[in-house]
Copies of this chain bind each other. A is one copy, B any other.
Amino acid sequence: MYIILMYDVNQKRTGKMLKLCRKYLNWIQNSVFEGEITKVKLTELKIKAEEIMNAETDSLIIFKTRQEKWLEKEIIGKERSEIDNFI
């Protein structure tokens, strides 16, 4: 499946969340990621994210779609460069 994932966590935890999400998905903006992922890998990612997050203050939203072609993406302004992806 194809997913868009976004988190809103306390600043103390952004580094860990960023590192985790980048292992599974493509980083497209600030705290937003997208990519093709299997059900098993997504479950794994969610379990690990929940270990990092504070369930009372942090949030993680995932939009899932069966086919990437059902989503059309438009970027206005600055695109995250390839260099950013290696920071």
- Interfacial residues, chain A to chain B (CB-CB below 8 A): 4, 6, 8, 28-32, 46, 49-50, 53-66, 70-80
Quick one: which of B57, B60, B70, B80 contacts A59, CB cutoff 8 A?
B80
Name the B residues within 8 Å of A57 (CB-CB): 77-78
Sample (8) of A-B pairs whose CB atoms are under 8 Å apart: A29-B59, A32-B32, A50-B77, A53-B76, A53-B77, A62-B73, A62-B74, A63-B71
What is the copy number of this chain in the assembly? 2
A60-B73 in contact given A4-B4, A65-B65 (Cβ < 8 Å):
no
Name the B residues within 8 Å of A66 (CB-CB): 70
CB A26 to nearest CB in B, in angstroms, measures 12
